[in-house]
Structure 1
Amino acid sequence: MLKNSLNVIIIAIAIVISSYLFSNAFQNRNKSSDNISVTGSGKKDFVSDLIVWSGSFSKKSMTLKEAYSELDSDRAKIKSYMSSKGIAANEMVFSAVNFNKEFETSYYENGTMRQQTFTGFTLTQSVNIQSKEVDKIEEISRQSSELINSGVEFYSSPPEYYYTKLAELKIQMIAEATKDASSRAKSIAENANASLGNLKKSDMGVFQITGQNSSEDFSYGGSFNTQSKNKTAHITVRLAYQVD
């Protein structure tokens, strides 16, 4: 009889404990679901402070020695031209020379190849200029066609624009976006007659850089415009708060 009574007591205690644990878990589940998730954004216009500009030039000759000699002459003209525009020698970086043996192919009337005739060596070299004098290099890039008048076949590429203080800008924008998200969360809570509790989670969205007043599309991996001198940076931050 005593043993049976003891078993009944143990079972009763177990039921009480199980009920408490289940009730507590249920309450915590509901409590954890009382969250507010908001997304804040930051936006900043800025001007690039670094420009990278490049161009290429080439020469073709029947002998490799003559082609190299003519390319050396063009390189000297380019250095002289750049120096006259105020570009320092250490800002000009010339690439290794690339050369190709070129042939002209003739065909029979039935379309099969007849023969290949050697037409010469084509040598190509590029020059890369990196400078913080953005406006000056930008203007020179527009005037580089003047080199053609000196007999240099110079092909200018569009300048690329960068910003050297991007890390600092990003930190400022994260703070701005976080402040915006927090303000949104407070507004939602107040309108719902609730108050914000602890911050439960925060995530940073994609950091994007686009040209100012452009129609560039945002991308999942983040866009990074290098074609525009005037840029706009965008960032988003997502916050989740406990609601009390």
Structure 2
Amino acid sequence: MQNKNYYILTVGLIIAALILGGFFYQAVKNQNTIKVVGISKKAFTADKLKWALTFETKADQDQLEQGYLEMQKKLSDFKKEIKNVGIETEQFNVQPITVNKEFNYITKNGNSQRVFTGYKLKQYLFLITEDIEAVEDLVLDPLKLYNKDIIIAASNLEYFYSEIDELKKEILAEATVNAQTRAEKMLANTNLKIDKVISMNSGVFQITEPYSTNTSSLGVYNTSSKNKEISVTAHTTFSIK
């Protein structure tokens, strides 16, 4: 019985030693690493533009057909003027006209009543083009269309870059190099040197207007600016020797 207890105790001590030895090894191992965050930034200019716009008009209760005709004229006049400045109308994605009823509230005999007053018609269309300058010349000077009796209810420009995936790969590689450079500088006044990469994780990409401080844990993609800046971090752990 005593021998049995002795064996159990011995096995327990061996297991405990292995566990403690594993923790000790891990602790020593962790001391032989250095963690740094590399960063890379690059300015670039968009090469594609999305122009989204909306036409709208109103029609009385019994004038819905006239409203449709008015919307057709607005689109026709717009396409004609767009073609005159060298933008192909076939590039536009034109959505169907939407119609919403409009109401007013009146008080009659002390009661509030909803009264049907007519219709509001809207049509949304957008263009994606590389001819950024031609569109900007037209959109950023609204009098050019206004003087042609073309009224746009809403207009919005968004800027994109067709090689964004390649650009992301490029600056991520630069961020990794930057991480290594930072690690080497941190160890410059010691007898230690970096050995190899233990782990590496990239941060999210922040695509902003130039000199912006806007960041997000989910990443940022600013489309309102033609001139942009992209940045990313590389969280890197190196072994040292």
Query: Which of 209, 216, 219 is the equivalent residue of 2:216?
Result: 219
- Per the TM alignment, residue 10 of structure 1 is displaced from its structure 2 partner at its CA by 7.6
| 1:137 CA displacement | 1.3
1:240 aligns with 237
Gaps of 5+ in 1: none
Task: Provide the residue aligned with 1:72 in structure 2.
Answer: 72
Bigger CA drift: 36-45 or 128-137? 128-137
Structure 2 partner of 1:165: 163
Distance verdict in 2 for CA 1:114–1:25, change over 3 Å: closer
Structure-2 separation of matches of 1:136 and 1:96: 26
Give the Cα–Cα distance (whole angstroms) in 1 for the partners of residues 151 and 13 of structure 2: 91
CA distance in 1, matches of 2:206, 2:12: 57
Task: Provide the C-alpha distance between the structure 2 equivalents of 1:141 and 1:173, rounded to a whole number of angstroms.
Answer: 33
Structure 1 equivalent of residue 97 of structure 2: 97
Name the Cα RMSD after superposition. 2.8
Q: 38, 48, 51: which is aligned to 2:49?
A: 51
Of 135, 147, 150, 2:148 maps to: 150
Tell me, yes or no, if the aligned pair for 1:205 and 1:238 is still in contact at 8 Å.
yes
CA distance 1:64–1:199, change in 2 (3 Å): same
1:107 alignment counterpart: 107
Residue 175 of structure 2 contacts residue 234 of structure 2 at CA under 8 Å; is this kept in 1? yes
Matches within 5 A, 1:11-30: 21=18, 24-30=21-27
Q: Distance in 2 between matches of 1:113 and 1:22?
A: 79
Return 5+ residue gaps in structure 2 as ranges: none
How far apart in 2 are the matches of 1:99 and 1:126? 12
Q: Deviations over 1:186-213 (max 9, x none)?
A: 2223323212233111000121001013
2:3 is the alignment partner of 1:41? no
State how far apart, in whole Å, the 1-side matches of 2:8 and 2:117 are. Answer: 100
Describe the shift of the 1:68–1:109 C-alpha distance in structure 2 as closer, same or farther (beyond 3 A): same
- In the alignment, is the contact (CA less than 8 A) between 2:39 and 2:233 conserved in 1? yes
For the residues of structure 2 that align with 1:201 and 1:228, how far apart are their CA atoms? 35
Question: Does residue 3 of structure 2 align to residue 31 of structure 1?
Answer: no
1:240 CA displacement: 0.5
Q: CA deviation at 1:241?
A: 1.2
Contact 1:51-1:134 within 8 A present in 2 as well: yes
Alignment: residue pair count:
238
Change (3 A) 1:16 1:60: closer
- Contact 2:56-2:153 at 8 Å conserved across structures: no
1:140 maps to 138
Deviations, residues 29-68 of structure 1 (Å, cap 9, x unaligned): 2332121000000000000001111221112223221111
What TM-score results when the alignment is normalised by the length of structure 2?
Answer: 0.86
TM-score (normalised: structure 1): 0.85
Compared CA separation, residues 77 and 189, structure 1 to 2 (3 A): same
**Alpha-carbon separation, structure 2, partners of 1:222 and 1:115:** 46
After superposition, the C-alpha distances for 1:158-178 in whole angstroms (9 at most, x for unaligned) are 311111100000010011000
Distance 1:30 1:139, change over 3 A: same
Residue among 154, 168, 172 paired with 1:174: 172
Structure 2 counterpart SS, 1:41: strand
Aligned pair 1:121/2:119, yes or no? yes
Which is greater in Rg? Answer: 1
Looking at structure 1, the residues matched to 11 and 103 of structure 2 have their Cα atoms a distance apart, in angstroms, of 93
